[in-house]
Amino acid sequence: MGSIHLETAIPGPKSQAVVDRRRAAMSSGAAFLTELAVESASGAVVTDVDGNKLLDFAGGIGVLAAGHCPPTVVEAIQTQAADLLHICGIVATHDSMVELSEALNEAAPGDFAKKTLLMNSGAEAVESAVKIARVATGRQGILVFEGGYHGRTNMTMSMTSKYGLFKKGFGPFASEIYRIPFPNVLRRPPGTDPEQFVGWSIERLHDALISQVDPSALAAIVIEPVQGEGGFLPAPKPYLEAIRAICDEHGIIMVADEVQAGFGRTGKLFSIEHSGVVPDLITIAKSMGSGMPISGVVGRAELLDAPHPGGMGGTYSGNPVACAAALETIKLINTPEFLARATAVGERLRAGLEVLQSKHSEIADVRGLGPMLVMELVTDEHLTPNPDLTLAVTKGTLARGLITIRAGLYSNCVRFLPPLTITDEEIDEALDVLAAVFAEETGA
């Protein structure tokens, strides 16, 4: 007997009633992808208010690497909550914020002195990294990439790609943002192999430092080592190496946005570790807190010390309960055993998705790093995006008890962010659901 157990159709009547209340009471600007109303969750299994049990392959959009309600994290939250809910790091210091920062400084790549700034959301972390880079360099320019997603504040929305979904109607946007194409190997020009395309992309990167902005005006180059909303596109190692070399030559700060790809999601604590490239600053959030709202910037101590006292931080930054959750999460994730299991999860899931790809020409690509994976869906050999099939697949899996969501610049990728505590049996169960849905939707 599998983990999925359906008592009603999805959504059930109780879920629908709660969602109807949401529509009446909450802003429609905050979209939602399913009509589930969740009552509880554990590991990789979600129970809705109708008693249905579903497998969660959305993972809170990358927040639940350690699974739903990991017992040691829950215990740490409960213990901390009984002692101290809030003091504000501006007013006083508590031990969990210091211990967490020490753990992050030790875990982050780089053989140099490090410090940490704690914040609340991924967007706050990215915006803080920009502020740090600007004050440290005395420059204003920020170089980002097409397909990148960095947040919804004015600054991070300005840095984010995909205008219609994230930016329409919200201008004016922040200035001194420069954007160039991301090296998407799947959509390379016809007749080029991946290595040639990456080399060509590196040449375009250098060209941009003449045609768009001079290196002397750039404070930072901000890149996701694996694009999240852009469709789980890993940045090729030579491309990251080229960025590092440019930053070293011109005194530019290299920022790795690890908000979605970090904390074990790719089989390493930080996804950029796959390349061996060491950034100056890393932005972190999502799975860092196992569901608690916490984020941060970790990196070179001299950069973190560049802003004047009072220039960074906020009322809730370094909240005791969130820090306790994050500290316990790091202890859980940053172990050889957990990361090895994460890698094994990715290998098993990728193998199953590639079998599915071999049977359905609509699946143009299965890609990602470790267990951070997508399928990109198209209509033809010209790689015409197929968002309609993508939506049908996510709806079809939900109806069968598997939660999946979309990603990609063209909304034509089905992304997989399962809790990394998932079992082999649950992976296979999810793959069976996907196979059934594709057979129904494609007639093959």
pLDDT in tens, 37-51: 999 999 999 999 999
List of residues 6+ apart from 107 with CB closer than 8 A = 269, 330, 334
List of residues 6+ apart from 367 with CB closer than 8 A = 186, 232, 233, 234, 373, 374, 376
* pLDDT band at 268; cut points 50, 70, 90: very high
Q: Are residues 152 and 249 in the same domain?
A: yes
Closest CA to 146 of 100, 179, 104, 108: 179
Q: Is the pTM of this model over 0.75?
A: yes
How many CB atoms are closer than 10 A to CB 2? 14
Crossing angle (nearest 10°) for helices 237-250 and 194-211: 30
Q: Are residues 359 and 310 in the same domain?
A: no
What confidence score (pLDDT) does residue 31 get?
85
Give the CATH number, domain containing residue 202. Answer: 3.40.640.10
In a domain, 30, yes or no: no
Boundaries of domain holding 230: 72-333
Q: Are residues 264 and 339 in the same domain?
A: no
| DSSP 8-state secondary structure symbol assigned to residue 346 | H
In a domain, 145, yes or no: yes
Distances (CA, A) of 341 to 53, 57, 190, 337: 24, 16, 38, 6
In a domain, 154, yes or no: yes
In a domain, 171, yes or no: yes
Q: Any alpha helices (H) in 152-297, and if so which ranges?
A: 154-159, 163-166, 194-211, 237-250
CB 247 within 8 A of CB 279: no
The C-alpha atoms of residue 282 and residue 284 are separated, in whole angstroms, by 6
* pLDDT band at 352; cut points 50, 70, 90: very high
Q: Are residues 100 and 160 in the same domain?
A: yes
Over the stretch 221-237, which tens digit does the pLDDT of each residue have?
999 999 999 999 999 99
How many CB atoms are closer than 10 A to CB 357? 18
Over the stretch 365-396, which tens digit does the pLDDT of each residue have?
999 999 999 999 999 999 999 999 999 999 99
Over the stretch 86-132, which tens digit does the pLDDT of each residue have?
999 999 999 999 999 999 999 999 999 999 999 999 999 999 999 99
Q: Are residues 215 and 351 in the same domain?
A: no
The predicted model gives 62-75 an average pLDDT of 98
Q: Are residues 252 and 365 in the same domain?
A: no
What confidence score (pLDDT) does residue 164 get?
86
In a domain, 211, yes or no: yes
Q: Are residues 363 and 235 in the same domain?
A: no
Q: Are residues 285 and 366 in the same domain?
A: no
Instruction: State what percent of residues in the chain have pLDDT above 70.
Output: 100
The residue type found at 53 is K
* pLDDT band at 331; cut points 50, 70, 90: very high
* Helix (H) or strand (E) segment spanning residue 184: none
**Of 303, 333, 363, which closes a domain?**
333
Over the stretch 5-22, which tens digit does the pLDDT of each residue have?
999 999 999 999 999 999
Q: Average pLDDT of the chain?
A: 97
Over the stretch 128-151, which tens digit does the pLDDT of each residue have?
999 999 999 999 999 999 999 999
In a domain, 186, yes or no: yes
Q: Are residues 180 and 320 in the same domain?
A: yes
Q: Are residues 340 and 298 in the same domain?
A: no
For residue 444, pLDDT over 80 is answered with no
* pLDDT band at 443; cut points 50, 70, 90: confident
* pLDDT band at 425; cut points 50, 70, 90: very high
The predicted model gives 68-81 an average pLDDT of 98
* pLDDT band at 1; cut points 50, 70, 90: confident
The C-alpha atoms of residue 279 and residue 285 are separated, in whole angstroms, by 17
In a domain, 10, yes or no: no
In a domain, 24, yes or no: no
Q: Are residues 293 and 348 in the same domain?
A: no
Q: How many domains does the chain contain in total?
A: 2
The C-alpha atoms of residue 72 and residue 410 are separated, in whole angstroms, by 39
Q: Identify the sign of the CA torsion 379, 382, 384, 386.
A: positive
Q: Are residues 137 and 274 in the same domain?
A: yes
Over the stretch 192-211, which tens digit does the pLDDT of each residue have?
999 999 999 999 999 999 99
